[in-house]
């Protein structure tokens, strides 16, 4: 459906995430991948979805040369725990500390999507509540050593081993936790 709807557009996905690439393929969408380096820094006073909205927009601003009929999709995801954003861990120690902090608690996974054309932009976001059971240090280390979650917000992928053993329930979109609220993206693209 989307392929026909967007046949007059050249869709550009500005993301290195293999999960986001797969989601767009599964939507039967023709797209190209173009990544431009952006320093993902945001004002410290921003909270929750304000952060992901800001970063999705910031990533889109790297594309100052959009042409007519080009459609740019950028996105950002964070884990929001105890009024703090957890991004991607930079080391095994940081990954361990994030997972230890998530153990036995609920947190929000927040994603924002920017859909931008030459003359318009729409930013939407989604929040999913995730409940972690208590996890042991041995389980955390096993996961980090075997799955290397350094490209994932909050140091985990719900679709991986840790999701199978540690997540008790979620409220909201599963796909948002994987990294893209696909149902919201589809809805917005169908409105074009």
Write the CB contacts of 95 (distance below 8 Å, at least 6 apart in sequence).
89, 144, 149, 150, 155
pLDDT-derived band at 144 (thresholds 50, 70, 90) equals very high
Q: What is the pLDDT of residues 20-36, one digit of tens each?
A: 999 999 999 999 999 99
Neighbours of 71 (CB within 10 A): 20
| Per-residue confidence (pLDDT) for residue 84, from 0 to 100 | 97
Catalytic residue selected from 53, 76, 108, 126: 76
Mean pLDDT of 67-91: 96
DSSP conformation class of 30: -
In degrees to the nearest 10, what's the CA dihedral of 112, 118, 119, 123? 0
Q: Using alpha carbons, list the distances in angstroms from residue 54 to 78, 111, 145, 180.
A: 12, 11, 32, 16
**pLDDT (tens digit, 9 = 90+) per residue, 156-167?**
999 999 999 999
What domains lie within the chain, and their CATH numbers? 2-191 (3.90.950.10)
pTM of structure: 0.95
Report the alpha-carbon distance of residue 147 to residue 100 in Å, rounded. Answer: 16
Are 74 and 150 spatial neighbours (Cβ–Cβ below 8 Å)?
Answer: no
CA distance 64 to 55: 16
CA-nearest of 30, 170, 42, 144 to 90 is 144
Is 76 assigned a catalytic role?
Answer: yes
Identify the pLDDT of residue 23. 97
CB contact at 8 A, 128 and 108:
yes
Average pLDDT, the chain: 97
Express as a percent the part of the chain with pLDDT over 90: 98
pLDDT tens digits, 44-76: 999 999 999 999 999 999 999 999 999 999 999
Percent of the chain with pLDDT over 70: 100
Radius of gyration (Cα) for the chain, nearest Å?
17
Contact (Cβ atoms closer than 8 angstroms) between residue 189 and residue 121: no
């Amino acid at each position: 459906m989307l392929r026909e709807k967007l046949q007059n557009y050249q869709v550009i996905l500005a993301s290195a995430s293999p999960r986001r690439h797969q989601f767009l393929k599964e939507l039967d969408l023709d797209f190209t991948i173009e990544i431009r380096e952006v320093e993902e820094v945001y004002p410290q006073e921003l909270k929750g979805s304000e952060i992901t909205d800001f970063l999705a927009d910031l990533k889109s601003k790297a594309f100052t040369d959009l042409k007519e009929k080009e459609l740019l999709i950028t996105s950002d995801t964070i884990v929001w725990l105890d009024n703090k954003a957890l991004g991607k861990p930079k080391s095994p120690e940081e990954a361990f500390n994030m997972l230890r902090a998530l153990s036995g608690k609920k947190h929000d996974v927040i994603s924002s999507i920017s859909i931008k054309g030459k003359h318009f932009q729409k930013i939407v976001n989604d929040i999913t509540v995730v409940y972690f059971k208590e996890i042991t240090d041995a389980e955390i280390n096993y996961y980090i050593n075997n799955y290397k979650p350094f490209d994932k917000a909050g140091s985990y992928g719900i679709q991986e081993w840790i999701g199978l053993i540690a997540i008790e329930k979620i409220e909201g979109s599963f796909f948002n936790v994987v990294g893209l609220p696909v149902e919201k993206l589809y809805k917005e693209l169908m409105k074009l």
